[in-house]
C-alpha cells in the first residue's frame, strides 16, 4: 500500500525559538517534508531539517531526495551544515533554489559553511550532490511536479506549487500579501489624482497574480507571521499579517490553509489566539475552508 504525506519539521519564522512556552507549536525554523513511498521532496533547510536528517539516517529504504529552497535567508538554510545525509556517501541529493545558474545556487548554499563561520566546508559532504540549473518549464522529482513563482519578500524569493497524485500543495514560507495595496494606501497623498487609476490597476494586477498562484489548491502552507498590531510596525519586511493571508486563501478557493512561519516571539497561546481569529474570519466570510496551525511534527496525509 502506497503512502503519501507531508510533515512539518520546522514552522518558525526568522529564528529558532526553543522555549518551553513555544514548543506546542514548535521552535525549529522552516522545513517541510513531502513523501510518496520512497520519493522524498523537502522544502527549505531551516533548523527543522536537522531532525529530518537524523531520522533519514535510520531509514535504510531511502537514499535519494530533492531539497528546494524558497530563498537563502538564514532561517531557511541554517540546518544544512548539520544535515547528516549530506555527509554520507550513501545519499544522492539535488538542491534547487533562486539563482541564475547551478553555480549560483551552489555558492549561496555553501558560503555559510566557509571559515570563519563554520569549521568544515561543503567539500566534506560525501553525498552525491547535484545543484539543479534554473529552468523555464517545471521541475520533476519522481512523482512530484514542481513549479516555482516569485513572491513578495526581500531579494528573489520563490513559492512552490507541487503536484503529487491528485493533490496540489503550495508552499509559500515568506511572502507579504497585498504589499502594494498597503504601501500605496499609506502614501496615497503623495500621488497626483490622475495617477490613482494606474495605482489601482497595479494593485488589482498584484491581487490577480497572488490569487492565481494558489487558486483552488488542496493545501496552502503560507506565511501568517504577524498580528495586525505588529504588522503595522513591520510593513515592508516581507511577511504577512494573518488577516491578509486568510482573506487571500478564501478568495483563491483554497481547501486547507496551514498558518506558517510563526513569529519567534509568539508563544503557543498567542498562536492559538491567531488561529481562533482566523476561524472567526472564515465563519464571517461563510467559507468552508479548513484552517490549521502548522505545527512541528504534524503529519498530513496526501
| Binding positions for Zn ion, rule: CB under 5 A | 13, 73, 75, 174
What is the spatial distance between Cα 31 and Cα 33, in angstroms, rounded to a whole number? 7
In terms of CB distance, is 13 or 45 closer to Zn ion?
Answer: 13
What is the spatial distance between Cα 162 and Cα 121, in angstroms, rounded to a whole number? 31
Residue 234 Cβ, how far from Zn ion at the closest point, in Å? 13
236: left (phi over 0), alpha (psi -120 to 50) or beta: left
What are phi and psi for residue 28, nearest 5 degrees? Answer: -80, 155
In terms of CB distance, is 75 or 244 closer to Zn ion?
Answer: 75
Which triple of cell numbers denotes residue 226?
504577524
In terms of CB distance, is 48 or 53 closer to Zn ion?
Answer: 48
Residue 296 Cβ, how far from Zn ion at the closest point, in Å? 15
In terms of CB distance, is 174 or 268 closer to Zn ion?
Answer: 174
In terms of CB distance, is 73 or 247 closer to Zn ion?
Answer: 73
Locate the DSSP E strands across 215-298: 219-223, 256-260, 290-293
Locate the DSSP E strands across the chain: 4-10, 31-36, 39-43, 64-68, 92-96, 128-131, 139-141, 144-150, 158-164, 167-172, 219-223, 256-260, 290-293, 299-301
What is the spatial distance between Cα 183 and Cα 216, in angstroms, rounded to a whole number? 28
Residue 91 Cβ, how far from Zn ion at the closest point, in Å? 26
The contacts of residue 146 (CB under 8 Å, 6+ apart) are 41, 68, 138, 139, 140, 160, 161, 162, 163
In terms of CB distance, is 35 or 152 closer to Zn ion?
Answer: 152
Residue 30 Cβ, how far from Zn ion at the closest point, in Å? 6
Residue 68 Cβ, how far from Zn ion at the closest point, in Å? 14
Residue 96 Cβ, how far from Zn ion at the closest point, in Å? 17
What is the spatial distance between Cα 66 and Cα 74, in angstroms, rounded to a whole number? 19
Tell me the residue number closest to Zn ion, measured at CB.
73
Check residue 131 and report its DSSP letter.
E
Residue 260 Cβ, how far from Zn ion at the closest point, in Å? 10
In terms of CB distance, is 76 or 164 closer to Zn ion?
Answer: 76
Amino acid at each position: 500500500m502506497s503512502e503519501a504525506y507531508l510533515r512539518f519539521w520546522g514552522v518558525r519564522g526568522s529564528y529558532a525559538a526553543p522555549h518551553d512556552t513555544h514548543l506546542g507549536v514548535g521552535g525549529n525554523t522552516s522545513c517541510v517534508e513531502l513523501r510518496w513511498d520512497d520519493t522524498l521532496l523537502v522544502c527549505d533547510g531551516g533548523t527543522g531539517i536537522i531532525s529530518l536528517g537524523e531520522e533519514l539516517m535510520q531509514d535504510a529504504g531511502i537514499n535519494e531526495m530533492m531539497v528546494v529552497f524558497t530563498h537563502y535567508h538564514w532561517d531557511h538554510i541554517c540546518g544544512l551544515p548539520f544535515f547528516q545525509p549530506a555527509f554520507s556517501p550513501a545519499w544522492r541529493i539535488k538542491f534547487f533554489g533562486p539563482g541564475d545558474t547551478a553555480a549560483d545556487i551552489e555558492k549561496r548554499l555553501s558560503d555559510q559553511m566557509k571559515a570563519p563561520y563554520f569549521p568544515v566546508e561543503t567539500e566534506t559532504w560525501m553525498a552525491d550532490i547535484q545543484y539543479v540549473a534554473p529552468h523555464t518549464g517545471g521541475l520533476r522529482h519522481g512523482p512530484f511536479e514542481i513549479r516555482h513563482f516569485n513572491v513578495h519578500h526581500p531579494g528573489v524569493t520563490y513559492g512552490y506549487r507541487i503536484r503529487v497524485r491528485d493533490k496540489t500543495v503550495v508552499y509559500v514560507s515568506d511572502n507579504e500579501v497585498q504589499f502594494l495595496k498597503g504601501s500605496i494606501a499609506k502614501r496615497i497623498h503623495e500621488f497626483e489624482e490622475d495617477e490613482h487609476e494606474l495605482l489601482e490597476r497595479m494593485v488589482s494586477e498584484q491581487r490577480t497574480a497572488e490569487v492565481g498562484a494558489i487558486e483552488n489548491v488542496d493545501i496552502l502552507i503560507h506565511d501568517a507571521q504577524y498580528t495586525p498590531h505588529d504588522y503595522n510596525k513591520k510593513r515592508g519586511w516581507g511577511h504577512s499579517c494573518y488577516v491578509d493571508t486568510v482573506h487571500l486563501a478564501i478568495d483563491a478557493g483554497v481547501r486547507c490553509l496551514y498558518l506558517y512561519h510563526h513569529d519567534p516571539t509568539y508563544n503557543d497561546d498567542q498562536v492559538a489566539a491567531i488561529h481562533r481569529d482566523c476561524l472567526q474570519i472564515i465563519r464571517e466570510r461563510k467559507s468552508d475552508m479548513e484552517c490549521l496551525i502548522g505545527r512541528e511534527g504534524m503529519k498530513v496525509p496526501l
